[in-house]
Amino acid sequence: MPIYEYRCTDCDHDFALNATIAKSENGLDVGCPECDSEQAQRRLAPS
């Protein structure tokens, strides 16, 4: 299962989500676990 990395643009907290590709294509409900903000941007991880 892929790991999707995010950074909250409100508090700069980095976090990761595990989700299937199908779920990702349908849109993930991403909220910061630190401050509960919905302002998260997906980060590209090095391969």
User: Tell me: the pLDDT tens digits for 3-40?
Assistant: 889 999 999 999 999 888 888 878 888 999 999 999 99
Q: Which residue has the tokens 């676990």?
A: 33
CB of 38 closer than 8 Å to CB of 10: no
In this prediction, residue 8 carries a pLDDT of: 97
In this prediction, residue 46 carries a pLDDT of: 67
In this prediction, residue 36 carries a pLDDT of: 94
In this prediction, residue 43 carries a pLDDT of: 92
In this prediction, residue 2 carries a pLDDT of: 86
In this prediction, residue 20 carries a pLDDT of: 85
In this prediction, residue 14 carries a pLDDT of: 96
Q: Could you tell me how many helices (H) and strands (E) the chain has, helices first?
A: 1, 3
Q: Is the dihedral of CA 44, 47, 21, 1 positive or negative?
A: negative
- CATH 1.10.155 is right for the domain spanning 3-43: no
Domain boundaries, the chain: 3-43
